Chains A and B, each alone.
Chain A
Amino acid sequence: TQLLEQSPQFLSIQEGENLTVYCNSSSVFSSLQWYRQEPGEGPVLLVTVVTGGEVKKLKRLTFQFGDARKDSSLHITAAQPGDTGLYLCAGVKSRGAQKLVFGQGTRLTINP
C-alpha cells in the first residue's frame, strides 16, 4: 500500500493555466516536503511544511499542509514551460524519524 497518494499522476496543460497537485494519506505526518525532479537530475527540495494549516508561497507555487497533517497540495499559478518536471511529495511520520515516505509522483508537462 502506498502511504502517500499523489494525484494526478500525469498532467499536461498549456502555458498560463493554473493547476493543483494533491498528496493524500490516512496517516499523520510530522512534516511533508515537496521536491521537483528534472530529467537526468536528482530531486530538488522546494519546500517543507510542518504546521497543520500552514501555507507557504514560492513565487507562483503555493503549498498547503492540511489541518490534520494528513494531506498537502501544490498549486501553480500561470504555469510556464520551466515548471515541467516530476513533482514528488514526501513525508516524515514522526519527530526524529529518518525515513522519508515518497508519493508516486506527478509528471507535469507545460506546453508552450
Chain B
Amino acid sequence: SAVISQKPSRDICQRGTSLTIQCQVDSQVTMMFWYRQQPGQSLTLIATANQGSEATYESGFVIDKFPISRPNLTFSTLTVSNMSPEDSSIYLCSVERDRGQFYNEQFFGPGTRLTVL
C-alpha cells in the first residue's frame, strides 16, 4: 500500500481565512482524491485530481471554495477558502492503486482535522 502523509494534521482557524492542506505520496499515482468527513459522518468526495489537468468537483463543491493543485504525480493541495464554522471537518486525501481492470482500491492519508471558530 502507498504511504500518504498530510500536513497539517490539525488546525484551528478563524472564520474568513483560508487553509491549504498538503498531501504527499511515496510513489507516483495517477488519481488522487479529496474527501470531507464531518463529525460522526461518513466520507463525502469533494473532487478528483489528475496531474496536469483541472480537478473534477462533485455536486455541491466548487473550485472557488476548494481550489486544488496537482503539480506532479506525488503531491496535491486542497485549499479551504473563506472558512466558516460549517467547514469544520476532517479532510482526507486518498490515492488509487490500479489492481487491474476489475477493481481499484483507495488508500487514505491520516486526515487533517480542521476547526473553524
Contact = CB atoms under 8 A, between A and B. Distances in A.
A42 interface: yes
Nearest to B48: A98
Chain A, interface size: which category?
A: 20 to 34
Interface residues of B, number: 26
Interface string A11-40: 000000000000000000011010100001
Contacts, number: 61
Contacts of B1: 45
A43 B94 CA distance: 10
Interface of B: 1, 4, 31, 40-45, 48, 92, 94, 96, 99, 101-111, 113
Counting from the closest, the 10 A-B pairs by CB-CB distance are A42-B108, A31-B103, A105-B42, A102-B43, A102-B42, A104-B42, A43-B108, A42-B111, A42-B110, A42-B109
Interface of A: 30-31, 33, 35, 40-45, 48, 50, 88, 90, 92, 95-100, 102-105, 107
